[in-house]
Amino acid sequence: MTDNPFTGAPGHEETTLGVFSKAEVGLANRNSGAFLEMLALDITPVGAHYLLTHFDVPLLDAGAYRLVFDGAFEAPFEISLEEIKAEPRVTMPVTMECAGNGRAGMEPRAFSMPWAYEAVGTAEWTGTPLAPLIERAKPQGGVVDFAFEGADFGYDNGVGHAFGRSLTPEELADLEVLLVYEMNGQPLLPQHGAPLRLIVPGWYGMASVKWLNRITAMSERYQGFQQVETYRFRQDAGEAGEPVTEIRVKSLMVPPGVPDWITRKRRLSPGPVTLQGRAWSGAGVPVERVEVRIGETWHEAKVEAPLGRYAWAGWSLEWEAAPGHYVLACRATDAKGNVQPMKAEWNLSGFANNAPHEVEVFVED
């Protein structure tokens, strides 16, 4: 721990109820969310993809950029962006969701970025697979972790650190991890991790380290703040907790009709309406089923084939809307039989809330 003005002084309760504080609104102003109406699109436009940045966006010079492989490698090396671009090029549609998505819907809620539903998006990420570069650096026998460090440094709970995460050799072998330099066919924007970021398909977003500048092979488990202190399912602050990893099955709907500016409640005319949205799960597990609740009844929606193994699937349902006041909801089930719970299990940091999306609508002439 470094000596700093934030030591031992978080300046807020761990959880809170009721109105949002100035600090929470400040976080929300920096970290924009998806437009739910754009769930009509397979691929989220770059400018409409959600953002989550803990510290400041580092402005890195792509020409001077080097990714460093160090630590317990037999053949450590540095590689420039040009050289990475000369490696085999792959493009993969990947749905990324912030582990904190839905936090504002938990009671009491963690004092942090107050996401409701909108911290999710699907982009076509272009880069090169990480595994062959790790092989090139030749991990020594006894390596148990690879640490991924970003260029952004800041403080959380009094602890100064560069944002960093780790994956074990077994996790790396399982996951199709990419080093990415393009998003939807254009160079990464600064706020999305330029010039190079990690993409860990099927895991919550925290694993996909932006502004990646160092990969360290470790013969002991990595103890970085973002690995061991945060991103844990805990009931009490004292517990070690279980790590947050794969994305849980979830779905969202395009809010039908037209909104009220402030409340986002909807109005639509009686008659036929197509309800539609997106559904996804983690770790490459496909979505098998989406149900939509209208009034008290659940209806089976039609689920499309996903764009790719790690991308969401579209769903739709034709509804003959009769006059009335409804709270619509959608819930998905994946191929492993995981189904969205009506109420997500509470945890101290408000992670992985995959309770159904609800939309209030008035149908009237």
The site for ligand MTE (CB under 6 A) is made up of 49-54, 96, 98, 150, 152, 163, 192-193, 205-206, 208-211
**Whole-angstrom Cα distance, residue 336 to residue 339?**
9
The correct pick among 33, 71, 127, 205 for binding Mo ion (CB under 5 A) is 205
Nearer to ligand MTE, 245 or 333 (CB): 245
Q: How many residues bind Mo ion (CB under 5 A)?
A: 4
**Whole-angstrom Cα distance, residue 159 to residue 3?**
9
Nearer to ligand MTE, 71 or 150 (CB): 150
Nearer to ligand MTE, 205 or 314 (CB): 205
Q: Is the distance from CB of 104 to CB of 114 less than 8 angstroms?
A: yes
Cross-strand partners of 127: 90, 180
Stretch that binds Mo ion, among 48-56, 136-144, 156-164, 208-216 (CB under 5 A): 48-56
Q: Is the distance from CB of 174 to CB of 131 less than 8 angstroms?
A: no
Q: How far is the CB of 365 from ligand MTE (least distance, A)?
A: 41
Nearer to ligand MTE, 40 or 189 (CB): 189
Nearer to Mo ion, 92 or 247 (CB): 247
Q: What DSSP element (H or E) covers 151?
A: strand 145-156
The residue of the chain with the least Cβ separation from Mo ion equals 98
State yes or no: residue 121 binds Mo ion (CB under 5 A): no
**Whole-angstrom Cα distance, residue 202 to residue 154?**
27
Site for Mo ion in 87-106 (CB under 5 A): 98
Q: How far is the CB of 209 from Mo ion (least distance, A)?
A: 11
Instruction: Decide which of ligand MTE, Mo ion, none touches 167; Cβ closer than 5 to 8 Å per partner kind.
Output: none
**Whole-angstrom Cα distance, residue 16 to residue 104?**
10
- Does the N-terminal peptide bond of residue 195 adopt cis geometry, omega within 30 degrees of 0? yes
Q: Is the distance from CB of 60 to CB of 175 less than 8 angstroms?
A: no
What is the DSSP secondary structure assignment for residue 225, as one 8-state letter?
A: H
Instruction: Decide which of Mo ion, ligand MTE, none touches 208; Cβ closer than 5 to 8 Å per partner kind.
Output: ligand MTE
Among 181, 243, 167, smallest CA distance to 212 is for 181
Stretch that binds Mo ion, among 67-75, 86-94, 204-212, 316-324 (CB under 5 A): 204-212
Instruction: Decide which of ligand MTE, Mo ion, none touches 354; Cβ closer than 5 to 8 Å per partner kind.
Output: none
Instruction: Decide which of ligand MTE, Mo ion, none touches 58; Cβ closer than 5 to 8 Å per partner kind.
Output: none
For 55-101, give the secondary structure using H, E and C: CCCCCCCCCCCEEEEEECECCCEEEEHHHHHCCCCEEEEEEEECCCC
Longest Cα–Cα distance of the chain, Å, equals 72
Nearer to ligand MTE, 183 or 287 (CB): 183
Nearer to Mo ion, 52 or 110 (CB): 52
Encoded tokens for 321: 């809307």
Which residues would be at the binding site for Mo ion (CB under 5 A)?
A: 52, 98, 205-206
